Homo-oligomer: A and B are copies of this chain.
Amino acid sequence: MNKVVKDAYEAIRDIGDNATIMVGGFGLCGIPENLLIALSESRVRGLTCISNNAGVDGFGLGKLLNTRQVRKMISSYVGENKEFERQLMAGELEVELIPQGTLAERCRAGGAGIPAFFVPAGYGTEVAEGKEVREFNGKMHLLETALTADFALIKAWKGDTKGNLIFRATANNFNQAMGMAGRITIAEVEELVPAGSLDPNCIHLPGIFVQRIFQGSNYEKKIEFRTVRST
């Protein structure tokens, strides 16, 4: 059983038109750069993208927006992207906004076989429209359903040939929960190591959730807001 593929192009070979994909990352932190480039160079159209953010103009998911490959975005925050705004205002792009914690939990639930659960977030707001409301412990909650995807595209720091993944610092964010929720989860890693090289006590996402893995290259790791202290 070999999970290792050569590169991003081989990894995305069977992503077809109108597929639903999850894309890990928070802003530009922890995004699967290689996979997004490969996808933007493919002819795939009509994608539904589940991703906390929509990248910036021309980078990250912004690439797929520029090439008009995205039909619908499911996100919590989609600022920082002018082309996105333009497509949205022009009615060329469908957008569903979800509270960030609910988005993360819906992905985890999708991976964990929990079809629905109650959360307080969004009660009394437009997010609650059409959703079942129920009181628990004196507080109102909404019923939220699980999210899954045909493909989850995620990025880790280190990974081994069995698909075990370790994330670094805040570059984990949505990668772990989305990695659980993909019917096919594709992981790109900064460093691919032989099985047995990683401490089995420190695996963030066990290999059972990962179907394909490869070592990415030329990471740009762009920073949205470089903020420093004067020393």
Q: List residues of A whose CB falls within 8 A of some B CB.
A: 105, 109, 112-120, 134, 136-137, 139, 141, 145, 166-169, 199-202
Contacts and interface: CB of A to CB of B under 8 A. Distances in A.
Main secondary structure of the interface of A (DSSP, over half): mixed
B117 A116 contact: yes
Contact of A116 (B118, B145, B202): B118
A105 B114 contact: yes
A193 to B, nearest CB: 15
A3 to B, nearest CB: 23
B114 A117 contact: yes
Contact of A202 (B113, B115, B119, B202): B202
A134 B118 CA distance: 14
B116 A120 contact: no
A228 to B, nearest CB: 21
A111 B199 CA distance: 27
